[in-house]
Amino acid sequence: MLASCTTYSPLPLPSGPDLVSTPANLSIAHREGDQVARLHKIDFKRPVSIDQIGLLAVANDPDLKSEHGELRLARSAVLQASLLPNPAASFNYGALISGPATASSAGISLSQDIVAIITRDTRVRSAQAQFAQVDAEQLWREWQVAQKARQLAVDIYWEERGVDLTEREQRLLKGEIAQVRQAVSAGNLTLSALAPLLSVDASAAQSLVALRLGRLKNWQALDGMLGLEPSVRFRIGRPVSHRLPTDMSGLVSTLPARRPDLLALQFGYGSAEKDVRAAILQQFPSLTIGATYGSDTSKVVSAGPSFGFELPIFNMNQGHIAKARATRELLREKYQAQLDKSVGDANALVAQIKELSRSLGQARQAAGSAKALVATARKAYQRSDLDQRSLSDYEMTALQRSIEVIDIERQLDEDRVFLAVELGLDVPHRRIALSATTES
């Protein structure tokens, strides 16, 4: 019996952080059919795609590293629910000290709880449904982490474009300011010609600071999700634009069978159903059946069955039944609310994407016209047909139009990522983080 007991072994805490300083050390592991987990390296010398960044986040996000332990915990609950209570045994012995008796007395009894056997199947099914719920919740967490990483990558990509555009425009302004300063020093222009240029330069510098700060925050957030040190940088590829789903009604109708969070709520509701049934079964009196054997002081030996049960006078498990029913009703309401919210958010995102697509065409046309006006204005300025203030106004307008295009494109790509989340598109059937853990 001692040899079959579980032994204790210590599990020390990590001695330090586990952050990666080089992105090339990151990897993706997943299963292909029935094959073991395979590692797929990513070439960071080339721009990394948005989808690759999402997979990297799932495989390396520090917050997801605990999911294996949570699944083990849920699996242990299934094991615990499947175990029956041990039989109860008792032994008593009465030594003869004095009196007319001729022998000492002894008694042995063995009994088993019958209600635990009756409710075992229901309890096991409830625990299995809870395990499936945890499994689906973990898959949903991975999917959300992947989409969050993709969204951060989208923001960084377009912020890079905005920074490059603003820096290029600011360099042009610096050159024009230097030329005007020379003209003022030579007495060909007054200081009033310099003021509007300095104002435009200050606005561009302010926009540049905001873009750089936003880019820095997004990089730090993305590095954190990838398990990288905050200073690590790599190139991000241009987001690939996908067309809107044509069969929205079909996608919405199959949403409960595709989105992991809705599946998790379904499993949770199934577990609550089993809990209600188990609570109803447990309202019957606790019953134990066993056997007894004994001998008294006159050497009379007796044996026979024994029965024990509670008298259901005060407690008929009403409290547990009410709690189980309330929990089931609560989960049903949560499921309906989540389903309604998911469908509403998906339809709202579709409407936003359509409106942004129309606005993008108009913004691109306006930006093209502004660039053409800048080119014409610069030629006019070189012929002295246009003053410096007007030229600066044209250039600032062109910069703002170009930044508007970048903002709309970024919002479009973000909404496409959010729509993929709401519709549960391309959700993997198997969690990648566990595959990576298994491989390591």
Residue 426 has φ and ψ, to the nearest 5°, of: 60, 30
Give the model's pLDDT for residue 178. 84
Give the model's pLDDT for residue 416. 86
**Do 256 and 262 form a contact (C-beta atoms < 8 A)?**
yes
Going by their DSSP bridges, the two strands 88-94 and 38-40 should be labelled as: unpaired
Residue 100 has φ and ψ, to the nearest 5°, of: -80, -5
Q: Where are the domains of the chain?
A: 23-60+119-282+317-432
Residues 196 and 317: their CA atoms lie apart, in Å, by: 82
Q: Identify which of 68, 230, 240, 242 has the alpha carbon closest to the alpha carbon of residue 141.
A: 68
The upper half-sphere exposure of residue 419, i.e. CA atoms within 13 Å in the direction of its Cβ, equals 22
Residues 430 and 161: their CA atoms lie apart, in Å, by: 35
Give the model's pLDDT for residue 3. 67
State the burial class of residue 343 (Cβ atoms within 10 Å of its Cβ: 0-12, 13-18, 19+): middle
Give the model's pLDDT for residue 175. 81
Give the model's pLDDT for residue 440. 35
Give me the CATH code for the 23-60+119-282+317-432 domain, please.
1.20.1600.10
Helix/strand/coil for 387? coil
Q: Identify which of 281, 277, 257 has the alpha carbon closest to the alpha carbon of residue 267.
A: 257
Reading the chain (440 residues) residue by residue, the pLDDT tens digits are: 666 677 778 878 777 777 777 777 776 654 444 444 444 667 788 898 888 888 888 888 888 877 777 888 888 988 988 888 888 889 988 887 877 777 888 889 888 888 888 888 888 888 888 888 888 888 888 888 888 998 999 999 999 998 988 888 888 788 878 877 887 788 776 777 777 778 878 888 888 898 899 999 999 999 998 888 888 899 999 887 667 777 778 888 888 888 888 888 888 888 888 888 888 877 777 778 888 888 887 778 888 888 887 777 777 778 888 988 999 999 899 999 989 998 898 889 888 988 998 999 999 999 999 989 988 988 887 787 887 767 777 877 888 888 899 989 989 988 888 888 888 776 665 554 444 444 33
Residues 67 and 352: their CA atoms lie apart, in Å, by: 34
Give the model's pLDDT for residue 431. 53
Structure-token pair, residue 438? 């298994």
Chain mean position to CA 409? 25
Helix/strand/coil for 109? strand
- Residues contacting residue 128 through CB under 8 Å, at least 6 positions apart: 78
**Do 96 and 230 form a contact (C-beta atoms < 8 A)?**
no
**Do 260 and 427 form a contact (C-beta atoms < 8 A)?**
yes
Residues 288 and 152: their CA atoms lie apart, in Å, by: 61
